[in-house]
Amino acid sequence: MDYQEKRAFKMQLYEQFALIGKALANAHRLELLDVLAQGEHSVEVLAQECALSIANASQHLQILRAAHLVAVRREGTYLYYRLADESVFAMWQAMRTVGETHLAEIGHIVRTFLHEREQLQPISAQELLAMCRDDQVTVLDVRPANEYQAGHLPHARSMPIEELEARLTELSPQKTVVAYCRGPYCVFADEAVTLLRKHGYQARRLEQGFPDWNLLRLPTETESV
């Protein structure tokens, strides 16, 4: 392979990688990936979750699909999207880590909007596993019910955040309650812990979201619909 062939090879290769970078270079598309990490969703649900019009959500999803970051299936007149595979979430997780390490503004934004988070006593996945083995804890999945059905922590109970206050009597006050949600920038678990403590429960939030837990190859369960 001569010099010109080497240059042609490298440029064609890097141009393909650049397609992924271009697809990720939009805040709405990153949020769509974050929601899709929870499981398959229709365009309509994704648009609602990300505060987009259906047309705008569809356009962003088509760009992600062109970069092979998401897959789609049709059911009647509805389209349902999912991540292409777990490597897509691993890439998003790596982006988060790099951003948190090198962009001071990310830490500033988190502290500004989630300034009480450290008081919620975050617990690691390994700590939670140990507490579950000793039957010391009630685990709450406070994401939407359809995301719980797609996959959840073992023995976790589904109590979407909007239902939690009305269902507090279902929880034992003798056990610590650990709430988890979509990930480090999701506030459902923060809201759940604050509410539980207000009503006298011992409550903590899981540091990781469900996709992070799943990527650690820790046990998970699915719920038949």
What pLDDT digit, counting tens, does each position of 47-83 carry?
999 999 999 999 999 999 999 999 999 999 999 999 9
Rounded-to-integer distance, Cα 143 and Cα 58, Å: 23
Tell me if residue 96 falls in helix, strand or coil: helix
DSSP letter assigned to residue 221? B
Rounded-to-integer distance, Cα 30 and Cα 5, Å: 35
Q: Does residue 181 carry a catalytic annotation?
A: yes
Lowest mean pLDDT among 79-93, 111-125, 146-160: 111-125
pLDDT at 209 over 70: yes
pLDDT at 225 over 60: no
Best CA proximity match to 155, nearest among 223, 224, 209: 223
- 8 Å CB contact between 81 and 46: yes
Q: Mean per-residue pLDDT for 125-151?
A: 93
Widest distance between CA atoms in the chain: 74
Q: What pLDDT does residue 134 have?
A: 80
Q: Mean per-residue pLDDT for 190-219?
A: 95
* pLDDT band, residue 114 (cuts 50/70/90): confident
* pLDDT band, residue 163 (cuts 50/70/90): very high
pLDDT at 119 over 70: yes
Given 50, 132, 181, 186, which residue is catalytic? 181
Name the residue ranges covered by the structural domains of the chain: 3-88, 112-215
Q: What is the CATH number of domain 112-215?
A: 3.40.250.10
pTM above 0.85, yes or no: yes
Q: What is the CATH number of domain 3-88?
A: 1.10.10.10
Q: What pLDDT does residue 224 have?
A: 59
Rounded-to-integer distance, Cα 82 and Cα 134, Å: 35
